[in-house]
Structure 1
Amino acid sequence: MRLQVKKWNLSNHSDYEKQCGQYCYKIVKTLLNFLKFLKNENDNFNSIIEGKDRQIAELQAKLTSLYSNEHKPNEFDSLRKLITESNTAVINELRSQFLDFHNNGEIKPPYDSLKRCQNESTEYNTKVNESKGGETYIESPYPNSCVPFGNSSKQYKINVAGAGSFHVLCDAHTAGPGWITILRRADGKVDFDRDWNAYRNGFGSLNGDFFIGLEKLHYITKSQPYELYVHLKQLNGQTIHARYGEFAISNEKEKYNLIKLDLYSGTAGDYLKTSKHTGFSTKNKVNIQYAKKFNGGWWFNDYTKSNLNGKYVADNNLVGMFWGDLKILNLVKMLIRPKV
């Protein structure tokens, strides 16, 4: 079928205006509006791509800095989170916009650009993973604290950079949600008069009395700022507590020194402060005489006024656990939680 095209008579200008107004106005206006719409959408797309390129450049610069300097593990985690969120947001936005074009305007979405964004996301995430200690870091499905478990007081598995994955006892009833139990004394069935290796690795059972272990405790408190809560229950049922807004210990080379212990509040008395900046001692390492005298490992020095790893006793005449002048304790818990 041949199209019948009406010939325009341009000999008279007024006739031309009349013919154009009669036949072209609606078509031309619609076409111009559509072209204007396409231009705006194209500008928006280019703006998004430019923003994406800037984000990639900034992340690449930060990644280079991380390669050349030592950073805490949580900085790598923050970078990974930033990369993932930014790429996901851009990809989703582009996909939504251009699928709309495809459905409504018969315009092919730029799948190549989307694919490039996805590839860059994978590439940079891989580089960040491999930059941890020169070794490949595999993203763990477990959180690094008890905070995500909310009001649940059960055993859960967490993953802490440097220490790997392990089970902990979360406590949401004693002082609110999100606490990791690092020490529990409830029945005296576990012997706490142990050597250095035992305290380094931890001992006991999460179902009863236990100590989490100095090595795990070091990496946990190194990963992010932590606070400490000491819960003490006396034979008469009365409970008291000591809370410290800052708590951390150093590594084994530094004898798990109590390097942070500040911002005390509570009803039990500030009897741990005398152990600040003191290394941990057991019956075979560091201040051996004190560990033997008090029957357990602790941050002992000449001025120590507490020891929650001593014998579980019910007699004031025996040397057992103590917190200041309080020597008979029915229940002891030490809890830590990321500082808000």
Structure 2
Amino acid sequence: MKTALCFVLLTIYSITMTYCQQCRQVTSTVCDDDITSFSRQKGDKGEVGFPGKSGIQGIKGSKGDSGGVGEKGTQGESCALGSLDLEDFVRPDSCTNSLLDGNQFLRNGLKVYCEDRWTVFQRRFDGSVNFQRTWDEYKVGFGETEGEFWLGLETVRRLTRKGNCDLRIELKSFDDSFHWAQYSTFSVDSEADLYRLHVGGYTGNATDALISTHNNQAFTTLDMDNDKWSRNCATENDGETGGWWYNACKNSQLNALWGRDGYLFWSPGAGSRKASTMKFRCD
């Protein structure tokens, strides 16, 4: 009896377990299909959310390597100033390498007047400056470079001491005729040698009035008689002749009293001159 009852119970249990297993399989399949089908359906797009906070700043990158040196550029063409540099332009050694006319201060501190690259050392045109001066005055110079003036024998010596200098003299008569005389050799010795004149190589239309009489002559002033005359040539006519490279006495005199007939002259018989300019230029 008990054996039969146990068999019945086991049979019922077996049938029940089989049925539940099939049920779970079906349920699982159906649910999985529904979930899968639902996940494939795209919902409506939601509203845009608020921006999030900035993130933490990243670490600064390391500096890159320096670039290499570029290639050297080609040299440009020479400037029209030639070999002159800026210093030559502003403070030249002499008027010869100055590009400007008028008053110039040279590198050595001397003040000169440049005219077309010539250094002017004497100018007369109206008699406003007295040229009846002493030795010391002719040595250091007098007058103003913009007007009538004498540059000074010591300055002329310093600027011509290296040689290779030309001398040019320009003359204007009272009838306004113009004449000139130029010399390819010009220099002045030191004060110890009495500022002796050296001149040669004449060209021009004013005739030579220096070489034959005044070349190699010492300078003479009112108070310093260095000429070859028995008296002082600078005191001739009551001192109105002024300082010059006298011999015994003169073939020219451009420092005499201005405006007096026969005084400011160049070569005998040529008459008095209204204006004169003496200038030099050195290589």
Q: Could you say which TM-score interval applies, normalised by the shorter chain?
A: 0.5 to 0.7
The equivalent residue for 2:200 is: 262
Distance in 1 between the 2:121 and 2:271 partners?
A: 21
Is 1:202 aligned to 2:141, yes or no? yes
Match of 2:245 in 1: 299
User: What's 1:271 paired with?
Assistant: 209
- 1:330 equivalenced with 2:256 (yes/no): no
Q: Where do residues 98-247 of structure 1 align in structure 2 (5 Å cutoff)?
A: 103=69, 142-150=91-99, 152-159=100-107, 164-172=108-116, 178-247=117-186
Match of 2:258 in 1: 312
Larger radius of gyration: 2
- Root-mean-square deviation (CA, aligned residues, Å) is 2.1
CA-CA distance at 1:250 after TM superposition: 0.2
The 8 Å contact of residues 279 and 286 in structure 1, kept in 2 or not, is answered as no
How far residue 331 of structure 1 moved from its aligned partner, in angstroms, is 1.2
C-alpha separation in 2, matches of 1:184 and 1:338: 19
Letter in 2 for 1:153: D
Q: Does the CA-based 8 Å contact 2:163-2:186 persist in structure 1?
A: no
> Following the alignment from structure 2 to structure 1, what is the Cα–Cα distance between the partners of residues 216 and 96?
28
DSSP-derived class of the 1:277 partner: coil
Count of matched residue pairs:
190
Q: Give the Cα separation in 2 of the matches to 1:185 and 1:254.
A: 27
Residues 266 and 273 in structure 2, CA contact (< 8 A), matched pair in contact too: no
- Secondary structure in 2 aligned to 1:330? strand
Structure-2 separation of matches of 1:301 and 1:189:
27
Letter in 1 for 2:247: N
Native 8 Å contact 1:185 1:332 kept in 2: yes
1:184 touches 1:211 (CA, 8 Å); kept in 2?
yes
Deviation digits for residues 148-204 of structure 1, max 9, x if unmatched? 323x42111113xxxx412211112xxxxx101010001101000001000000000
Task: Give the TM-score normalised by structure 1.
Answer: 0.53
What corresponds to 1:88 in structure 2? Answer: none
Divergent runs of 4+, >2 A: 147-150
Following superposition, the deviation at residue 302 of structure 1 comes to 1.4
Counterparts of 1:6-17 in structure 2, within 5 Å, are none
CA distance in 2, matches of 1:103, 1:249: 57
Give distance in 2, aligned partners of 1:338 and 1:254.
21
**AA matched with 2:209:** Y
CA deviation vs aligned residue, 1:72-93 (integer Å, no higher than 9, x gap): xxxxxxxxxxxxxxxxxxxxxx
Structure 1, unpaired ranges of 5+: 1-101, 105-138, 173-177
- Secondary structure at 1:227's aligned position in 2? strand
SS of 1:256 mapped into structure 2: coil
Q: Do the aligned residues in 1 keep the contact of 2:233 with 2:249 (CA within 8 Å)?
A: no
Give unpaired runs (5+ residues) of structure 2: 1-67, 71-87
Identity rate, percent:
29
Measured in 2, the distance between the counterparts of 1:331 and 1:321 equals 9
Within 5 Å, give how 1:281-296 maps onto structure 2: 281-287=220-226, 289-293=232-236, 294-296=240-242
Provide the TM-score with structure 2 as the length reference.
0.63
| Aligned residue identity for 2:250 | T
1:261-286 per-position Cα deviation (integer Å, ceiling 9, x unaligned): 11100000110111011100001002
In the alignment, residue 242 of structure 2 is paired with which amino acid? G
Aligned-residue offset at 1:303:
5.1
